[in-house]
Amino acid sequence: MTDQELIDQLKNGNEGCLQHLYQHLGKVKGWISQNSGNDDDALDVFQEAIIVFYKNVMAGKYELRSKISTYLFEVSKRQWLNQLNRRKKYEKQSDGVVAVDWGQEDDEIEFTYKGPSLKKYLMEALEKLGEPCKSLLETTIFLGMRMEDIAEKFDYSGPRSASQQKLRCLKKLRSGISYEVIIGLK
Query: Which of the pair, 40 or 183, is modelled with greater confidence?
Result: 40
How many Å apart are CA 89 and CA 161, to the nearest integer? 31
DSSP string, 45-113: HHHHHHHHHHHHHHTT----SS-HHHHHHHHHHHHHHHHHHHHHHHHHHHTTPEEEE---TT--EEEE-
**What pLDDT is stored for residue 147 in this prediction?**
84
Q: What is the mean pLDDT of the chain?
A: 78
pLDDT of residue 119: 72
What pLDDT score was predicted for residue 107? 41
Say yes or no to pLDDT of 6 above 50. Answer: yes
Per residue in 108-149, pLDDT (tens digit) is: 434 444 445 667 777 788 788 888 888 888 887 777 778 888
Task: Provide the residue type at 145 as one letter.
Answer: M
pLDDT at residue 179, as a whole number: 66
**DSSP letter assigned to residue 18:** G
Looking at residue 184, its pLDDT comes to 64
Band (pLDDT 50/70/90 cuts) for residue 92 is: low
- Bigger pLDDT: 30 or 90? 30
Nearest CA among 72, 96, 66 for reference residue 18: 72
pLDDT value, residue 15:
81
Report the pLDDT value the prediction gives residue 111, as an integer from 0 to 100.
40
Q: What pLDDT was estimated at residue 84? A: 83
| Residue 28 CB partners (closer than 8 Å, separation 6+) | 42, 45, 46, 49, 72, 73, 76, 77
- Structure confidence at residue 151 (pLDDT): 85
pLDDT tens track for 71-88: 899 999 888 888 888 777
Q: What pLDDT band is residue 177 in, cutting at 50, 70 and 90?
A: confident
Q: Write down the pLDDT at residue 17.
A: 83
